[in-house]
Amino acid sequence: MRSVRLPILTLFSIVAGSGGALAQTFPTNDPVIKQMWDEGMTARSQAASLAQVLMDSIGPRLYGSPALEAANEWVQSKYREWGISVRQEQIGTWAGWKRGYTHLDLIAPRIRTLEGIMLAWSKGTDGPIEGEVILPPDLANEAEFDAWLPNAKGKFILASPPEPTCRPAENLASLARPETIASLEKERADLQRAFAIRLARLGRNAPQKVIQAGALGILTTQWSEGWGVNKIFDASNDAIPELDVSCEDYGLLFRLASNNQGPRVRLDARSEALGQVPTFNVIAEMRGSEKPNEYVVLGAHLDSWDGASGATDNGTGSITMLEAARILKATYPNPKRTIIIGHWGGEERGLIGSRAFAEDHPEVVEGLQTALNQDNGTWRVEYIRMMGLTGAGAFFGRWLAQLPSEIEGEIDLDLPGVPETGGSDHMAFLCHGAPSFRLQSNYPDYRQYTWHTNRDTYDKVILDDLRNNATLAAMLAYLASEDPDRVPRDKRVMPPRSNGQPGAWPSCQPARRTGG
């Protein structure tokens, strides 16, 4: 079966009005849709103010951190303020960790404040520490490395290959000669290969040996191939500080060390390990008036990585669903089916919260009319894949055809699509065969610049599109709730795998209830 991607207006041959007045853009006279537009797309919208509190005041929401606990409490307070039933459901425990500040300075052969940040769950320092920055030794074998190990004491170890340039590929493509680009690509490959060989010769236990030998810290870099942007994940050890250093500053340290110019750094980094702490989903609910045992689920994960503010991953998704709930309460307070809004915990550690919810609430999976998840950045929703459910496209076509053209006009449906094998929290329901979909925005920009990076901050949010997406989610939830029919669960014939074996529907994985 071939996957067909069609604009919804073409699919249903609907022509909406094109004038400037709002009334000309509504293909139906549905008063609820019009009220939702007024509530979500005008000055009554609260999307911007909600986003500012979550992203600026509460900030990043690492799983197991006090900041995520604060976000859970704040989200619940908003639902109570709006008169929507809300609760916390414990999903397990995780290693608690509280981030403090990170100050990293080059102090020789010159002075420069460096852009560096502790990786999540890293051990901090008990005050400022200073030491020389060195490369892993270029030795013939592990025995020579063991003899060298005393030299690691009191040093900071560079643990990543450098980049030959921190200019993005699109910048080089527009300004550099093809010969220059080819030369830089070769240099990058050579640097990575040489560094990998150097580390391999030291043996698999080299990092642990360096730590045991008394190294002061480990410095790494993971460039995201954009101006000034790095991926920020978690530390590989809990014994000594481990930092990500910006592409530019890491290259400086690497060059100084490679040329025996005596780089020294001063580090003052604070963190606190909190032991195992309870973790939760926040679940809001608007009980159905006619079909309470059938469900529409709006979802987004509330946890984030913490190299920046967790703005587009997934503060925007969280605010989309929070604001959608406010719009629903204001315009559609007595839904036909039960509407659940799930703010999932632990997505970044393996879809923990949504998987736990599906495990703990089989009645919701069984009675699911549709689930809608948002988890990829800012920009308008432009693409909804039907995830291999062959009967879903007709429902989305019918629903989208009732929306203002300003909202649905750029949305493509992928018919029938294929189910993802990873993805986000929609998979916790889709793996059971339940109708579960993601509302997708432009992905390459998000992946390069804000997904898990040190630049995922409030200023990257496009507020017009946030308002649009929240209003879209509310409208779709309303139409799914009102639809007299259930979204069918018929599955497509899966395409064969790359090895020629028959394709299979994705299997459900158990929620990881504890760890860290």
Do the strands 264-286 and 337-344 form a parallel or antiparallel pair, or are they unpaired? antiparallel
The CATH superfamily assigned to 30-96+276-390+411-482 is Zn peptidases (3.40.630.10)
Helix axes 463-482, 31-41, angle to 10 degrees: 160
- pTM comes to 0.93
For residue 234, report the phi and psi dihedrals to the nearest 5 degrees: -110, 160
> Do residues 161 and 222 lie in contact, with contact meaning Cβ atoms separated by under 8 Å?
no
Of 376, 309, 298, 365, the C-alpha closest to 335 is: 298
Region of 339 (left: φ > 0; alpha: ψ -120 to 50; beta: rest) is beta
Measured in residues, the chain has a length of: 516
In degrees, rounded to 5, the angle at the alpha carbon of residue 343 between the alpha carbons of residues 504 and 468 is: 90
- Per DSSP, what are the bridge partners of residue 89? 281
The label of the residue with tokens 């502790």 reads 118
User: What is the three-state SS of 134-201?
Assistant: ECCCCCCCHHHHHHHHHHHCCEEEECCCCCCCCCCHHHHHHHCCHHHHHHHHHHHHHHHHHHHHHHHH
What is the 3-state composition of the chain as percent helix, strand, coil, each rounded to the nearest 5?
Answer: 40, 25, 40
Of 359, 490, 503, the C-alpha closest to 428 is: 359
- Which residues of the chain carry a pLDDT beneath 50? 1-3, 8-23
The CATH code for residues 110-262 is: 3.50.30
> What pLDDT, on the 0 to 100 scale, is given for residue 500?
86
Query: Cα–Cα distance between 492 and 505 in angstroms, integer?
Result: 9
> What pLDDT, on the 0 to 100 scale, is given for residue 377?
84
* Six-digit token string for 229: 């942007």
Identical fold, 30-96+276-390+411-482 and 110-262:
no
For residue 347, report the phi and psi dihedrals to the nearest 5 degrees: -60, -40
> Do residues 245 and 252 lie in contact, with contact meaning Cβ atoms separated by under 8 Å?
no
H/E run at residue 1: none
- Under DSSP, the state recorded for 263 is -
Query: Could you give the dihedral angle defined by the CA atoms of residues 293, 296, 301 and 302, in that order, rounded to the nearest 10 degrees?
Result: -80
Task: Provide the residue ranges of all domains of the chain, joining segments of one domain with +.
Answer: 30-96+276-390+411-482, 110-262
Query: Could you tell me the CA-to-CA distances from 379 to 55, 89, 108, 310 in Å, in that order?
Result: 17, 31, 44, 16
pLDDT tens readout for residues 333-376: 999 999 999 999 999 999 999 999 999 999 999 999 999 999 98
How far is C-alpha 153 from the chain's CA centre? 37
Of 367, 365, 362, the C-alpha closest to 337 is: 367
